[in-house]
Amino acid sequence: MERPAALHFINTTHPGDATTSSSLSQIRSHAAKEIRLRARRLRKTAPPQGNKSESKRVGRRKRNTGGKRGDTPVCSTKITSSNDQEDVEEPISTVALTPLSHSQQVISLSPVVPFGGFSEKEGFLFLHYINYIIPFSNGSCHKNNDGSSRWLINMQLKHWIPLALSDRGLMAALFLQSCHSLGALNPCQDYADMSTKYRLQCIQSTNASLAKTATQMSDSTIAKVMIMAVDEFTLGNVDAWRAHLTAITWMIERRGGVDALGVGGFLKEVIVNTPIFHE
């Protein structure tokens, strides 16, 4: 049985200030408030309890089911306050939380990047992409309903992220998107400078890929051009955006059509359902 997800923290603090005592204190305080709020909501929505003997019989029946589907696991969560003393311990029903796959929990909830090769700032950008961009920025490229959103998130974690980790240029493209996102949430010159850096890396990587294989287009190469098209559209560079759309169309034709794209169907889904890729 997959374990339910715990709390997600979306840290918009500048990387240099992300681990200061003030930031950590704010995170702990927010977590404690969130725990108490969820517990109160659950108590309000919970059905009235019967007599104690009936509750005991229900409890025995649940234990005898051996964890069959439909059970409601309950966990106790402890939150530490800013003075390092235990602040609250309240039961939280996991029904109200959206369950994540094990791989999603490992990536999104890990306090450190689960592999080497990244600088501290890049690790910060990567975790922002996992914890913020993937779950909250897919509405524009897919029909807005719970089932399709969950599918899109799972495809990104299962196929998209592993592909990006195999190509440094594609990772630069993801870092570029994180810089745009963080810059919108917390305007900072550092994010603008890093955007320029990763945009250049993405362009250089794409040119190198095209120089090697001018006929067979890889998923990584197509994906990098797609992200650069989004980047130009975001910046308002219409001519460059259209040039990238032309290049994407040409690459997909060389690949054998949109149905031939890989990444678990993720690239096709984005191409077909994202208005930004259609003039």
State pLDDT tens for residues 92-107: 333 333 333 444 443 4
Q: What is the CA radius of gyration of the chain?
A: 23
Torsion on CA atoms 94, 100, 106, 112, rounded to nearest 10: -80
State pLDDT tens for residues 241-275: 999 988 988 988 888 888 888 888 888 888 887 77
State pLDDT tens for residues 27-81: 556 555 656 665 666 666 655 555 445 545 545 544 444 444 344 333 333 433 3
For CA atoms 171, 175, 181, 182, the dihedral sign is positive
User: Is residue 122 scored above 80 in pLDDT?
Assistant: yes
Counting Cα atoms < 13 Å in the Cβ hemisphere of 57 gives: 5
Predicted pLDDT of residue 138: 54
Predicted pLDDT of residue 274: 76
For residues 195-219, give the mean pLDDT. Answer: 86
Task: Choose between 165 and 17: higher pLDDT.
Answer: 165
State pLDDT tens for residues 6-25: 444 444 555 555 555 565 55
DSSP sequence for the chain: -PPBP-------S-GGGTTSHHHHHHHHHHHHHHHHHHHHHHHHHSPPP--HHHHHHHHHHHHHTTS-TT---EEEEEEE-TTSSEEEEEEEEGGGSPB--HHHHHHHH-SS-SSSS--HHHHHHHHHIIIIIHHHS-GGGS-SSHHHHHHHHHHIIIIIHHHHHT-HHHHHHHHHHHHHHHHHHS--HHHHHHHHHHHHHHHHHHHHHHHH-SSS--HHHHHHHHHHHHHHHHHT-HHHHHHHHHHHHHHHHHHTSGGG--GGGHHHHHHHH-GGG--
Contacts of 5 (CB under 8 A, 6+ apart): 97, 98, 99, 100, 104, 105, 108, 109
Q: Provide the residue ranges of all domains of the chain, joining segments of one domain with +.
A: 15-96, 102-277
User: Is residue 111 scored above 50 in pLDDT?
Assistant: no
Predicted pLDDT of residue 169: 93
Predicted pLDDT of residue 224: 93
**What's this model's pTM, rounded to 2 decimal places?**
0.57
